[in-house]
Amino acid sequence: MVTGGVRLPDWLEWIGQDSPPPGLAAVAEAQPGEVIAFPGLINAHDHLAFNCYPPTGKPPYHDFLEWSRDVQAERGLIETVEAVPRAVRVQFGLLKNLLWGVTAVADHGGDEHSGNGPIAVLPPYTDLHSPELETRRKWLKGVGPVVLHLAEGTTPESRQRALSFLKGNLLRRRVVGVHGVSLEAGDFGRLSAFVWCPASNLFLFGRTADAAAAAERTELLLGTDSTLSAPGTLWDHLRQARGAMPDDDLFAALTARAERFWRIGRRNDFVVARRRMSTIWDAFFAVTPGDILLVVRGGRAVLIDAALTASKPFSEGFFPLDWDGSRKFVRMNLPEMVRATLPQLDPAVLIGRFAGVSAAGRRAA
């Protein structure tokens, strides 16, 4: 099969608006069996330093302020996690995204440590937290678009606080709203883009934003939030979200639309995963982290499954990672990361959380 000038075998199907990248043809040499390939995913909302936490709190809540009070009450957990250097916690946040097939991530409130990893951290737009925790003077901070949590709650008051804060945007800066659980259909037209985080919303509030209404009025993107508020993997989140809009529209929120919005441009980023289902969209939404065989960023492999390596010696810079019968090689210094978490945290527990496997299936390299 020839697609966009790239010859692919019949057992490899490309999903994407653009033609497949040239590097994908090399996958045919490994003959991994029936597989799908797609552009590297773009996670439009995460807090990289908060991915060493488990989902925390006793939901459901009316808004994030209630949840925050419960999180702050978990002093023992906070002291344990925060004892791990922030730079290391950010690296684990990058590892989480890498294992999910993400090649670019927006780190809300991130810092200079965010760029030191195997995947891209998106350009630092002006991050504000929320109307509840910011003043209107913050509209004068920085340049370019503003990204902030909006209407992160189910109450009319949560929506009103969001709308009131938006009225303070006298410079008419572009606004990227995140969460928007209590926003109404017409409210989304005030935003340049809306980042939907369905798993985080459902965990904390038992409901999520009207993503279909948002998609009709602005650019719909998709985010995962951190493991502090979002249980499961990105692929679990997608299965939760499926049905809210056409499959190709949800896919675009993670690929072509996000690429255009963040102005990433043409990227040689792609993912190859085992094919579990016959129809293409069923195959995509059935993917798990264990199914991901290859992640390439900028033409360079950053994750490779053992099934693709055979007996070939591995290049320097890759380290093995095992769970539940899977072995991946990732371009991250895992031994150093593991040492930095001990004795505060069990790295195998973190890996298991990222991989979505049971405690019996976890083993960190």
User: What is the secondary structure of 128-156 as a DSSP string?
Assistant: ---TTT--GGGGGSSSS-EEEEE--BSSH
**How many structural domains comprise the chain?**
1
Question: Helix, strand or coil for residue 244?
Answer: coil
**CATH number of the domain that residue 34 is part of:** 3.20.20
* Dist CA 228 CA 246 (whole Å): 29
Query: Based on the number of CB atoms within 10 Å of its own CB, is 234 exposed (0-12), middle (13-18) or buried (19 or more)?
Result: buried
Looking at residue 265, its pLDDT comes to 73
The single residue listed with the structure tokens 């410079």 is 171
Task: Name the helix (H) or strand (E) containing 273.
Answer: strand 270-274
Looking at residue 144, its pLDDT comes to 83
Please give the model's pTM, rounded to 2 decimal places: 0.94
Per-residue CA distances from 157 to 67, 154, 165, 184 (Å): 16, 8, 12, 13
The single residue listed with the structure tokens 């370019």 is 144
Looking at residue 6, its pLDDT comes to 62
Per-residue pLDDT of the chain (365 residues; tens, 9 = 90+): 445 446 677 888 999 878 888 888 777 666 678 999 999 999 999 999 999 999 999 999 999 999 999 999 999 999 999 999 999 999 999 999 999 999 999 999 887 545 568 999 987 789 999 999 999 999 998 888 999 999 999 999 999 999 999 999 999 999 999 999 999 999 999 999 999 999 999 999 999 999 999 999 999 999 999 999 999 999 999 999 999 999 999 999 999 999 999 888 767 899 999 999 999 999 999 999 999 999 999 989 999 999 887 645 556 789 999 998 889 999 999 999 999 999 999 999 999 999 998 543 444 43
Peptide bond into 343 cis (omega under 30): yes
Q: Which domain holds residue 137?
A: 2-363
Q: What share of the chain is helix, strand, coil (3-state, %, to 5)?
A: 40, 20, 40
| Residue pair 218/194 in contact by the 8 Å Cβ criterion | yes
Question: Helix, strand or coil for residue 229?
Answer: coil
